Chain A
Amino acid sequence: MSLVKKPVGPAIRGDGEQEPPRLSDEGASAVGEYCGKYYELCARGNLFIYTTAAAGIVLTTVAATNQFTVWNPAGSGYNFVPLVVKFGWNAGAGNVIAGQIAYYSSANVGSALGLPISVFTAIAPVPAYLSGPCRRVSAMRFSTTNTLPAAPILLRPSKFSLWQGRDASTLAPFVMVENLDGSIVITPGNTFVIAGSGAIIPNFTISVIGAEIPIPLEA
């Protein structure tokens, strides 16, 4: 057995030196981040962009048809982990009804088109490493034109709710980005759906950045 010991306190070291990492005065190991939080996953070809066209879609009350849907097919071998969801407002929305944007899911949706998912016009997810060496193809299916077996079940509200703000509102520009940060994992045979709740929500460009992670070997 070997009890690891590290030096305590500030250090100034040159490139190429071999030294142990240091501790704080409270015994914490001092660490420094290399790049952004998701860089390693992105560089490994595990991140994809699932996006509507720039012109966007209207988010209606959740229903069985035409939902923003990422479908993790049964047997994909991957979990889908949505990391960041971005909403961009598009002009032309004149009749906003107050409500919320929420996340939903359909369970046991299999792997093949037919039943329970009868229509699914696929849009290819884009690798988030542009021209990356992995050339990995997404294991998910993404669509905004589809027929699901039933209205998906609510997971939780997104952090965005709406009143009757509209194009002509004299309000300041705004940011609609939610970091899910690994808080939802979609296993094979399930969907991740974004829709309105109890209202008709205006037209948004919607982009999700998600990770596709091989299913871990758990006991």
Chain B
Amino acid sequence: MEDRTRVEMRVGPARLADDAEAAPRLGNSGEQIVQELNGRYYEQVIRGNVFIYSTVAAGIALITPAAAGLIPTIWNPTGSGYNFIPIRLVLGYVTALHNTPTNITLATIPNAGNTIGAGLPIVTFTDVAPVNALLGSGKISKMRWAPAVCTFTPIPTFLMTTGISQFTGEDATAVAPFQLCVDFDGTLIVGPGNTLSLGSVGATTTSLYTVSIIGMELPVPLIA
């Protein structure tokens, strides 16, 4: 006979002392009442799975993806055994008069392999070590990060806009401070053998941004 247990909890407010044992609380609609204990990504950070991929503070220009590269690129090498899951993109405006009106985009190279070389998808790639968001952690990133210097054989394929745009705006303009930040919220996973680059639609952009991408590196799950 099937062994079944009916689980019950307690409806309504409670006032409990530490170290007591008590029934979890339900709402009047039968829902379990929960309380997030830490920040959303704390569990991954404390496990050493979150990294910060940044350009230099002086910033870079975000340009149209091309074989000549020079765009911030995270490369998940084939065989890494890990997925890269971007959490947040933050752009910090540095300087420039007379920006080129455009929007900032994401692009990717599939089947990017795990080797650098002439004729391969990744021709050159000047690595900079990502910083573990658990400061002091010895855990090393499984990704490769080139904040500025890289070249490709195929031109990275446009994936989507980030939703961040600029007019001709000038840094001498008296406008209020502004935010340039996009949360991914688990909507994108970069599997092994793919790259993720940040570029623009406009042919060139004259504005300089400090770019930081915060992302998780998790073992590839066993999903059918």
CB under 8 Å from chain B, chain A span 1-60: 1-10, 23-45, 47, 49, 51, 53-56
By the criterion CB–CB under 8 Å, are B202 and A37 in contact?
Answer: no
By the criterion CB–CB under 8 Å, are A42 and B18 in contact?
Answer: no
By the criterion CB–CB under 8 Å, are A35 and B24 in contact?
Answer: no
Give how many B residues have a beta carbon under 8 Å from the other chain's beta carbons. Answer: 88
By the criterion CB–CB under 8 Å, are B189 and A129 in contact?
Answer: yes
Nearest-neighbor residue (CB-CB) of B189 within chain A: A129
Q: How far is the CA of A94 from the CA of B91 in the complex (A)?
A: 26
By the criterion CB–CB under 8 Å, are A209 and B187 in contact?
Answer: yes
Chain B residues, CB < 8 A from A132 = 189, 191, 223
By the criterion CB–CB under 8 Å, are B165 and A88 in contact?
Answer: yes
Q: Number of A-B pairs whose CB atoms are under 8 Å?
A: 272
By the criterion CB–CB under 8 Å, are B24 and A4 in contact?
Answer: yes
Given contacts A33-B36, A170-B169, contact A134 B223 (CB under 8 A): yes
Chain B residues, CB < 8 A from A141 = none
By the criterion CB–CB under 8 Å, are B19 and A7 in contact?
Answer: yes
CB under 8 Å from chain A, chain B span 37-57: 37-38, 40-44
User: B-side interface residues toward A, CB under 8 Å?
Assistant: 5-10, 13-25, 32-38, 40-44, 83, 85, 87, 91, 93, 99-105, 108, 110, 158-170, 173, 175-176, 178-194, 196, 201-202, 207, 216, 218, 220-221, 223-224
6 further A-B pairs in the complex, CB-CB below 8 A; given A23-B22, A28-B24: A39-B186, A49-B160, A56-B201, A89-B102, A130-B189, A132-B191
User: A-side interface residues toward B, CB under 8 Å?
Assistant: 1-10, 23-45, 47, 49, 51, 53-56, 83-84, 86-91, 126, 128-134, 165-177, 179, 204-207, 209
